[in-house]
């Protein structure tokens, strides 16, 4: 019954509020000392993915998946890369289609269930023949992709992929989308929709016959956006169909490698269904940790390494996945 209690995370004094944790980590954290080497790979549909490598010459690699409208430069990504390198791991952050600073070529973009693109990255890595161990780490939307990926493959997952870690995951997509539409989260939703609007406008410039932002001002929620863009572009009937099929929660029972999900109890973007206690109790490979605090991809910590608790926690799990305090 791998529910980890109690969590070791303790928020700094005056920084325990979920909104404060979320905003502080986004607005004020600076991560120095991470230097990427970019590699562009071509996808089977004649598009591209930009991969950012941070190598130290290890035979162990962590592949990192970012959140909605994120990229490999976000502090939670570069902070984890720095911690991984310090712990003896090579790191690879992949930018989703259109997230590396340049619009992608095809109409399709990315979404919460884009495990096909993650597979392209993994296949590319494995073809190099360098690594003996690979782990997957995901944040928010990228955490949903990560959990869905390992759950979809179940016992057929490649034996080179040893473990997975995910933070702040809306693993019930419908509940997460509806929570974002609540009054307290409207500023966050508006920020994301502005970023998505800019993405749509850039795509409309290169694909004017297939994409338009006409009437975008009528989009007020993620449901509106998913109904108009994500669902029809990516082969779903509507937002509800997309949420149902891209949802990682349904795949949690099939996870067959040690996998850790950390969702803070005060995450402003999550609701009760995003805390899969029953799934963790039923699957010995799926570990759930629910700190009292942490916000959304927050988990602030102050120390001389400049390392957030999420980074220390991930490293601990990767190295000692079977020595935990379980309920």
- Residue 238 within a domain: yes
Burial class (CB in 10 A: 0-12, 13-18, 19+), 131: middle
pLDDT at 192: 97
129 and 179, same domain (yes or no) = no
Distance, in Å, from the CA atom of 17 to the CA atom of 206, rounded to the nearest integer, reads 42
Contact in structure between 171 and 142 (CB atoms under 8 Å): no
Give the CATH number for residue 67.
Answer: 3.40.50.1820
Please state, in angstroms and rounded to a whole number, the distance separating the CA atoms of residues 152 and 256.
Answer: 10
Q: What is the pLDDT of residue 104?
A: 97
Q: Which residues neighbour 209 within 8 Å (Cβ) at sequence distance 6 or greater?
A: none
Q: Give me the number of domains the chain comprises.
A: 2
**DSSP label at 261?**
E
Residues 86 and 124 in one domain: yes
Distances in whole angstroms, Cα of residue 273 to Cα of each of 9, 208, 278: 22, 39, 10
3, pLDDT greater than 80: yes
User: Measured between alpha carbons, how far is 110 from 155 in angstroms, rounded to an integer?
Assistant: 26
Query: By the 8 A CB rule, do 97 and 104 touch?
Result: yes
Q: Same domain, yes or no, for 26 and 142? A: yes
Q: Is residue 324 part of a domain?
A: no
In a domain, 327, yes or no: no
In the structure, what pLDDT confidence band is assigned to residue 301 with cuts at 50, 70 and 90?
A: very high
Query: What CA–CA distance (Å, rounded) separates 89 from 101?
Result: 26
Question: Do 125 and 100 share a structural domain?
Answer: yes
Residues 13 and 96 in one domain: yes
Quick one: DSSP state of residue 326? B
Domain assignment of residue 149, yes or no:
yes
Are 73 and 146 contained in the same domain?
Answer: yes
Same domain, yes or no: 26 and 161: yes
Domain termination residue (choose one: 231, 246, 261): 246
Query: Which of 246, 269, 286 is a domain's end point?
Result: 246
54 and 133 part of one domain: yes
Mean pLDDT of the chain: 96
Residue 291 belongs to a domain = yes
Domain span including residue 37: 3-172+248-319
Q: Say which residue the tokens 């800019």 belong to.
A: 198
Q: Which residue has 């493959």 as its token pair?
A: 153
Of 221, 246, 271, at which residue does a domain stop? 246
Looking at the structure, do residues 154 and 256 belong to the same domain, yes or no? yes
Query: Do residue 37 and residue 77 come from a single domain?
Result: yes
In a domain, 293, yes or no: yes
For CA atoms 301, 303, 308, 313, the dihedral sign is: negative
The whole-angstrom separation of Cα 275 and Cα 179 is 14
Query: Residue 326: inside a domain, yes or no?
Result: no
pLDDT of residue 116: 98
State the pLDDT at residue 1. Answer: 52
Task: Kindly report, residue by residue over 64-93, the tens digit of the pLDDT.
Answer: 999 999 999 999 999 999 999 999 999 999
Q: What is the pLDDT of residue 59?
A: 97
Question: Per this entry, what is the length of the chain?
Answer: 327
Same domain, 72 and 161: yes
Q: Please check whether residues 159 and 202 belong to one and the same domain.
A: no
pLDDT tens figures, 190-225: 999 999 999 999 999 999 999 999 999 999 999 999
Backbone φ and ψ for 196, nearest 5 degrees, come out as -65, -35
Q: Is residue 136 part of a domain?
A: yes
Residue pair 48/125 in contact by the 8 Å Cβ criterion: no
What is residue 320's predicted lDDT score, i.e. its pLDDT?
A: 83
Structure-block tokens of residue 77: 């990504």
Q: What is the pLDDT of residues 141-165, one digit of tens each?
A: 999 999 999 999 999 999 999 999 9
Report the pLDDT averaged over residues 21-34: 94
Query: Is 317 within 8 Å of 260 (Cβ atoms)?
Result: yes
Q: In what order do the strands lie in the sheet with 90-95?
A: 3-4, 286-289, 259-262, 161-167, 133-139, 60-65, 90-95, 48-54, 37-42
- Residues 282 and 253 sit within 8 Å (Cβ to Cβ): yes
pLDDT, one tens digit per residue, over 98-110 is: 999 999 999 999 9
Residue 327 has pLDDT above 50, yes or no: no
Supply the angle between the helices 239-246 and 173-180 in degrees, to the nearest 10.
Answer: 130
**Is residue 326 predicted with pLDDT exceeding 70?**
no
Structure tokens at 110: 């990315």
Q: 55 forms bridges with which residues in the sheet? A: none
């Amino acid at each position: 019954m791998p529910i980890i209690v109690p969590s070791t995370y303790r928020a700094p004094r005056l920084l325990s509020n979920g909104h404060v944790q979320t905003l502080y980590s986004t607005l004020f954290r600076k991560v120095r000392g991470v230097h990427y080497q970019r590699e562009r790979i071509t996808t089977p549909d004649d598009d591209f993915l930009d991969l950012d490598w941070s190598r130290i010459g290890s035979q162990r690699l962590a592949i990192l998946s970012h959140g909605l409208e994120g990229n490999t430069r976000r502090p939670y990504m570069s902070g984890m890369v720095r911690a991984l390198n310090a712990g003896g791991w090579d790191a690879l952050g992949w930018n989703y289609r259109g997230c590396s600073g340049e619009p992608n070529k095809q109409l399709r973009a990315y979404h919460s269930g884009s495990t096909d693109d993650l597979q392209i990255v993994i296949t590319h890595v494995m073809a190099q023949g360098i690594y003996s161990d690979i782990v997957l780490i995901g944040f928010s939307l990228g955490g949903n992709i990560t959990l869905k990926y390992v759950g979809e493959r179940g016992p057929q997952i490649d034996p080179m992929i040893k473990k997975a870690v995910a933070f702040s995951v809306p693993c019930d997509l419908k509940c997460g989308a509806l929570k974002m539409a609540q009054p307290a989260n409207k500023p966050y939703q508006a920020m994301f929709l502005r970023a998505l609007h800019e993405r749509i406008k850039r795509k409309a410039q290169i694909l004017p016959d297939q994409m338009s932002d006409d009437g975008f001002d009528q989009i007020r929620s993620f449901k509106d956006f998913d109904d108009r863009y994500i669902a029809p572009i990516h082969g779903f009937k509507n937002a509800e169909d997309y949420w149902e099929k891209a949802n990682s929660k349904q795949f949690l029972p099939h996870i067959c490698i040690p996998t850790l999900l950390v969702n803070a109890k005060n995450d402003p973007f999550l609701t009760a269904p995003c805390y899969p206690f029953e799934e963790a109790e039923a699957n010995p490979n799926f570990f759930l940790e629910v700190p009292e605090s942490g916000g959304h991809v927050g988990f602030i910590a102050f120390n001389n390494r400049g390392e957030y608790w999420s980074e220390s926690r991930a490293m601990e799990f990767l190295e000692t996945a079977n020595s935990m305090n379980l309920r």
